[in-house]
Structures are given as C-alpha cells and as structure tokens.
Structure 1
Amino acid sequence: MTRVIRWGILGTGRIARDFANGLRATPDAVLAAVGSRSADGAASFAHAFEAPLAFGSYEELVACPEIDIVYIATPHPMHAANAILALRAGKAVLCEKPFAMNRREAGEMVALARAKKLFLMEAMWTRFMPALAEVQRVIASGEIGAVTQLHADFGFSATPDPAHRVNDPTLGGGALLDLGIYPLSIACALLGRVETVQAQAIMGETGVDLTTAFTMRHAGGTLSVCSCSLRARAPSELVVSGTRGSVRMHRMFHMAERITVDLLDGPSRTIDTPWLGNGYAHEAIEAGRCLREGLLESPAMTHDDTLAIMGLLDTIRRQIGLRYPADA
C-alpha cells in the first residue's frame, strides 16, 4: 500500500485554509494536526477541516509524533523562524512563499535541513501546476522554435488601507513579495539561471512597493520582462515567444486551466490543463512523492532554485529601495 502522508499545518490564516482545502483533493494525504498561537484558533480550524489534533502552540505541533511534514502558513516575516522550529524538531517542511524575507534567512533554513537530512521545499504551488508542465513540454519540443523572450505580469487593485498586511512593511508587504515572485519564479523555471536583473518601482507612503517592473537576462541569452502591482488590475498572463511562435498561459497564469500555442505557419490551438481541487494539491503531491522516495529536495523546486530566487529578490529590493526589518 502507498504510504499516507500525515500533514501538520502551522498557522490558521487564509493560506492555511487554502492548503487544507487542497489536501482534501490530494491522494494518500491527510491533515493530521494544526497548530495555532491560541487553543481556540486551533480547535476551530481543526473542526472546520476535520483534523484529529489541535495544538495551541507551534512548539506542540512540531513535537507531535503523528505528523510527517509541516506546512508553514504564517505571515512572511515568520517563515524562517517557524521552518527552523519544525526542522529542529526533526520534521520535514513545506514553507509557503516567499520562502523567507531575504537570502540570508533562506540560507540558514537550507543549511539546517541539509545538516539534519530533512526534506525542505518552497511552497511555490505554481511550479507544480499542470499548465506549467505543458508549457515546458511545448518549449522542449521545439514547436515554437528557439525561445527568445518571456513576458509576464501579475496585478490587482488591493486595499489602500495602510494597516493591511499588503501595505505593512513589518509584515513583508508590497507587490514584489506577494505578486512579483510568481512571474519571477516561473521565468526562472522556463528560461533558467539569471545573469543580471534591472528593476524600477513606484513606492507607497508606507514604504512598500506598489508597482514593480523588472527585466532579467538569462544564461541562455533570453530575456524575461515582468511586472507586478497592488494598484492595477493587470491581464496577469504569461507569454513565451520563440522564432516560430509563442505559447500563452491565460489570465491568472499562475493557475491557468488552459494554454494556447500560436505558430507563424499554422493555426493556433488551445490545450486544456485542468488541476486538482483548488490547485494546492499538486505541490502536496510532489512533497509526498519526495518523502516516500527519501528525497531531501524536489528536482522541480530545488534548494538552489529557491536560494537563487531569494538572491534575485534581494537585488531587486536594493535597486528599488525596499527594506524590511529582517534586513537589519
């Protein structure tokens, strides 16, 4: 029989609920426990998602022998500390994006996981969606010719409330870490290692970026042009262009259910790429596969991938003047 992966969720906010819903569509996986900063919060979450165990502290959750892996679902600035807590307790970890607040924190997390020989992966759920796999297949087939460039944007009109998480620098607010990380990560997945990056931004009154645009030159001689915004309802599409045509991930590209291939010498065609549940199941499936096979990292989202992305985010933030308390 296939080993059932027992999940513990650390945190009870919106992203924790999204992941718990995703687990419902994940084969051979169960939500075994949840941890919150309050017993009432944990109990309420456990009741809603039928988790048998609820803990009123993160320490109790990571010490629980009834879980195999911990999903970190707390606000951005807590990711590193919470992941390190779980790793020190001997638990495998799937950590929500952004993996950490900076490259230094990410390096500490990876070093600990490697030292303790524990599985650790960034929960960049879009890297495991069927649409991305199909785009990779189209590119690898040579159908659109030699790839030359990628364009991607991601934006919506968020609340201007300065107290809201997206506008609060103490909570890792700003467009780049919330939204820009999606096109950045997928551009790296499709075009490979980045040699240089250049960025500009429009900053808000609270000190976070409201709109950021950046271009990256990849090692293969390709360019990616990406943007993100908390003040614009952008098309949120991704297009990879080559010498013979292009492939497009449609609106809300990070969760596209179809892609379209347009060729210079042929008709366009659309390929359906449906996903399981709410989409989060695919990263849970990959984490489960890695645990069953004894892998310490996923070949689809390696530690080096994550560290490179965190380094790029640091560089972009230096260029646009975006600093967080964790950078001190």
Structure 2
Amino acid sequence: MRPADAYPDPADAPALRWGILAPGGIARRFAHEIPRYTASRVVAVGSRDLGRAEAFAADHDIPRAYGSYAELVADGEVDAVYVASPHSAHLELASLALTAGRPVLVEKSLTRNAAEARELFDLAASRGLFAMEAMWSRFLPHYRAVVDAVHDGAIGEVLTVTAQHGQHLVFGPEHRLWDPALAGGAMLDLTVYPLSFAHALLGVPDQVHAFGALSELGVDTGETVVLRYGERTVAVAQASLETAMANEATIAGTHGRIDLAGSFYTPVEVALSTHDGASWRLPVQHEGGFQFQAAEVARRVAAGETSSPLMSWQASVEVMELMDEARAQLGVVFPGE
C-alpha cells in the first residue's frame, strides 16, 4: 500500500481566490480549512440574506459579503466558486457561476439526479470551464491509497465491499435533511459516501437492489443498497438518518482484506492484511480534509483543464444514476423532478 506522502501535498497547489455560495454548516468547514492548509483564500461569500453573509464573513475573516448570489459570481476577484447550498439548488447556483465564467466545486451530492448532473456538465463543457463534485473523501490520501491498492491487485479479486454511513440526525420536517422540497433524505447526504466508495473501487454494477424506509413526507430515512458485479462480487452500502452506525468499511478479496476504521470517509487508519500473514497499516497523517479537493481544483484550473480524473464528470453521473435507481426502487421522488 502506498504511503500517504505518495500523494500531492495541498500546500503545494497553486493559489485560488474562492467565493462561497450559501454560507451553511459545511461551508464553515471549507472556509476554515482552505486558508489553513493551502495557499488559497476565501475572498467572498454570498447569501440571499446579507446579514447572514456578513456574519459568516466576520467569523472567517472573509473580506467581502454579498446579499445575493449574482453579486458574488460577478466579483472579478473570485477565481472559483464553491456551491454549498442544499441539493435542490445545486444546479441553479452552479449554472449561475458557470454562466458568469467561474469554475465550480459543487458540494456532494452533485445534483438531485443524473439528468441535472448532465445538464451541469454540458454547461461547463460549453463554457470550457472546470466543474467538479465535492466528494471530498475521494481526494484523501488514505482513500486514494486504498483504491490504488485494490486496483493494483493487493488483495486479489474483490469479493465483497461493505460500507456504512449512519448518523443520528432526527430533526423536524422543516430541516433540510427531512424536507423533500430541498432534496432531503439519507441518500444524497449519507448513502452517497458508501456508494461512491464502491464505485471508486468497482465501477458501475450489473444490478442494483435497494431496501429502505420513508418518512411521512416521503424522504428516505435509511437504506441498504446491494450492488452486484458479475457472478462473484457484491458491494453493500448502508446508511441511516435515524441511528449512528460504526461507519466502517471493509474490502475482502481472494488474497486478503482492507479495513478502514470508522468513519471510513474521513482521515482514518487503514489496515491491509493478506492470507499469508503479512500486514500493513497506514496511520492518519494529517488534519482537516477539505483541503485535498480544493487543491485538486487549483491544480486543474491552473493547468487549463475542465475536470479531474479523481472525480470525473462520468463518475459523478454514474454515481447519480446509482442513486436514481435506488430512489426509484424506494419510491422517493423530489418535487419538480
């Protein structure tokens, strides 16, 4: 297994001046980690509520705050835009930024569905601009080391992948996670992690089988999604808004096994063991986490590229298609789809 320092250091990436659209909870982490661990800065934040934008800017030492999204994307000193709104607004806000000539990093899940993802990427392609889904885990050194080890055949033929993401996030129907109008539910916030993990390891499955439960308003409160690859390989992704799971992941192959401690999608220790008794451990070697995806954006934008092979447009669409199929089987439909 490759060591963590085999992958680029975010501090070495070119600098970008970031603007943030929608100053919610996840945007706070972005605003904290990017200037701390990279050469980039957050220079502006935009919200529909100027007071909220100003408070966020004050908290994170951001020089400019705007009371509309249009004002932020029009700021000529913003090099790239991070879209951190609820999923229901991802396409709208990403399109606003791309139309204004700004590269975008769009929080995961990229959009509500695969059709919206294709529309977003079509617009980016027509403008010749960079666009990427902020599936931050895919850029972490331990995650990349695991994917590379599996693809290099370190544990032989993969037979099973299991991964969980359950959190106790029980709120009222007004909360975005429980509001169908905001594309709430476990799928786009939690299940996307184990599904994207399975996709990174194994690609597109031959079969998808989903089992789960819905709230009174019709959002998915949790699910188990079984992915079948050929005759021998199965991946199982589990998630819940109603209970905290161990959030571990295991990949078992014909020659050995890789275990990721909980929470597998964050910087955690990785253990690889083989059937002949050999073992390796990859310890946690860094803080933060969001800096790795931001650094990848900076490198690709500086190179004049429109996408990253670590989270390609095709990969984002394929993961959205998996979730579309799982939602269809569960009976989850968002208003306006």
Measured against the shorter chain, the TM-score band is over 0.9
Partner of 1:130: 141
173, 184, 188: which one aligns with 2:184: 173
> What residue number does 1:213 align with?
224
Render the CA deviation track for 1:260-302: whole Å, top value 9, x for unaligned: 11222215442113334x2111100111111111110001111
CA contact (8 A) 1:150 1:241 kept: yes
| Selected match of 1:193 from 204, 221, 226 | 204
Paired with 2:213 and 2:229, the residues of 1 have a C-alpha distance of 25
Give the whole-Å Cα distance in 2 for the aligned partners of 1:159 and 1:40. Answer: 28
Specify whether residues 136 and 2 from structure 1 end up closer, same or farther in structure 2 by C-alpha distance, changes over 3 A only.
closer
| CA distance in 1 between partners of 2:245 and 2:163 (Å) | 10
Greater shift after overlay, 36-45 or 75-84? 36-45
Paired residue for 2:256?
245
Residues 109 and 141 (structure 1), Cα distance of their counterparts in 2 relative to 1, 3 Å cut? closer
Partner of 1:301: 311
Aligned residue number for residue 283 of structure 1: 293
Check the 8 A contact 2:262/2:268 in 1, yes or no: no
Q: Which one-letter code corresponds to 2:87 in the other structure?
A: H
Over the matched positions of the two proteins, sequence identity in percent amounts to 38
Cα distance change on mapping 1:310 and 1:232 into 2, 3 Å: same
The range that moved more, 114-123 or 212-221, is: 212-221
Counterpart position of 2:331:
321
1:93 aligns with 2:87: no
Structure 2 equivalent of residue 154 of structure 1: 165
CA-to-partner distance for each residue in 1:163-182, whole Å, 9 max, x for gaps?
A: 22221111111111110000
Q: Secondary structure at the match of 2:198?
A: helix
Give 1:2 deviation, angstroms: 7.1
How many residues are aligned here? 326
Distance 1:88 1:221, change over 3 A: farther
The worse-fitting range, judged by mean Cα deviation, of 293-302 and 37-46 is: 37-46
**Alignment partner for residue 143 of structure 1, among 139, 154, 166?**
154
Name the structure 2 match of 1:105: 116
Q: Secondary structure at the residue paired with 2:29?
A: helix
Cα distance between partner residues in 1 of 2:83 and 2:268: 26
Deviates more, 1:176-185 or 1:202-211: 202-211
Which among 231, 242, 254 is matched to residue 242 of structure 2?
A: 231
CA distance in 2 between counterparts of 1:2 and 1:318 reads 41
The answer as to whether partners of 1:258 and 1:272 remain within 8 angstroms in 2 is: yes
Contact 1:122 1:306 in 2 (8 A): yes
Alignment of 1:43-122 (within 5 A): 43-122=54-133
Residue identity in the other structure for 1:81: E
Distance in structure 2 (CA, Å) of the matches to 1:189 and 1:56: 38
Task: Give the residue type in structure 2 aligned to 1:324.
Answer: F
- SS of the residue 2:309 aligns to: coil
* Letter matched to residue 80 of structure 2: I
1:201–1:145 Cα change, 3 Å: same
5+ residue gaps, structure 2: 1-11
* Structure 1: gaps spanning 5 or more residues: none
Question: TM-score under structure 1 normalisation?
Answer: 0.95
| Compared CA separation, residues 239 and 285, structure 1 to 2 (3 A) | same
